[in-house]
Structure formats: C-alpha cells, structure tokens
Amino acid sequence: MNAVRPHDLLWGMTPDLLPAEAPAWARQALAAGEPVVVRRALEAAGWVAVGLRGRSRAQRFAARMPLAQVVRRIAPERLRWQGDTDLPALQAVAQVAAVLDSQGWCWGPTGSVGFQLASGIEVVHADSDLDVLLHAPQRLSCERACDLLGALEAVACRIDVQLETPQGAVALREWASGARQVLLKAASGARLVSDPWSLEEVAA
C-alpha cells in the first residue's frame, strides 16, 4: 500500500482496536464498517493516527490503527460531486472543481463533505462548510495565493482551503494575508513559521 497521508479515509479498523475509554458511538461506527480519517500526528512504525467521527460535531475521537488492518484507502483528491443537490457544501464542490481542475491543481474535499462522498453516509447539512486540501509541493507566492482565494470566493458556502506543503499544512487565507508568520500544522505539532515550505525552518 502507498503511504497514507493526512485526510485519507481508511477502512478496516475494528472496535477491538479502540481503547477502553472509547465512547459507545465510536464502537458502533466501527462495527458498522465506517471509515476513519488519518490525523496529522506521529505514530510508531506500522501504525497510523486516525480520527473517528459521529453524527454530531461533538462526536470526535482520536485513536490509532495498525497499517496492516487497512483494507481500503480513499484520498481526498479522488473525490468529486456529480448530481443535483440542495446542499450548498456539495454544490460548492463542483464550483471549486471548475476553478482548480482548470488550473491543474491536485486537490480534494475533506471534512464532512469528503467523508460523505467517500462513504455515502449522509453527514452534510445545510450549514456545512466545505473544507479543501490543496497540494502545493512548490512554494506559492502570496500574490498567487490572493488570486486563488479571490477565484474561490464566489462558491455557494464558506470554504476553508488548506495548502498541503511538504512540511505540513497552512491555511490559504492566512498565507494570502501576507502575515510575517503563519500557523503550520505538522505531524510533530503546530508552530508559527515564516515559510511553510522550508525544511530548515520547520526542523529548527
């Protein structure tokens, strides 16, 4: 199996892998065969940090999963929405695709939208936001970030775009602001950096 990455959805975790303090809803979700999502955290070799989600925003549980248990993986960039819907967050997927696909970006929906598109479980509601993961292996200028942000402003709901750099993730809106430092989310934790693409800065 290819290396798993943050926001990938994984199938194969079973309730017996949860710690004793895990809530009943988490055990029920795994018993029903629902996927877990890869978290951005360090784990021992052969393991991956994952998160479980319930039906309410308050139902979130952090856990770990043996990589050997993974039977299926779907990355966000494989997910798209096609069809009719009254839900703004799903409508926004098609609108974002029109912008990002035409510019050759590698991207995908995450959060509740990504979970629903991958699993078929209806968790998106009328007030849901659209979370997007945008792969940015090369440094993106603030000017281009501003242009990209502007092109995405007209979508049907609030959108939160995370730029995935080789060192971690940073919010597109924050990077486009021109701030001297931005919050980089990495496996080792979150920290303020001036260049989220700089290995030297992140490793310091």
CA angle 97, 59, 18 (to 5 degrees): 105
User: In sequence order, what E strands does 79-158 have?
Assistant: 107-110, 130-135
Residues 6 or more apart whose CB falls under 8 angstroms from that of 65 comprise 10, 12, 13, 17, 36, 47, 48, 50
Tell me whether residue 129 is one of the annotated catalytic residues.
yes
* Pair 140, 106: CB distance under 8 Å: no
CA angle 131, 91, 58 (to 5 degrees): 40
Tokens 């292996």, located at residue: 137
* Pair 51, 112: CB distance under 8 Å: no
Tell me whether residue 195 is one of the annotated catalytic residues.
no
* Pair 9, 115: CB distance under 8 Å: yes
> Could you say which of 131, 147, 160, 195 is catalytic?
131
Q: Beta strand pairing status for 9-11 and 72-74?
A: antiparallel
Q: Which helix (H) or strand (E) holds 149?
A: helix 142-152
> Could you say which of 129, 147, 160, 195 is catalytic?
129
Active site residues: 129, 131
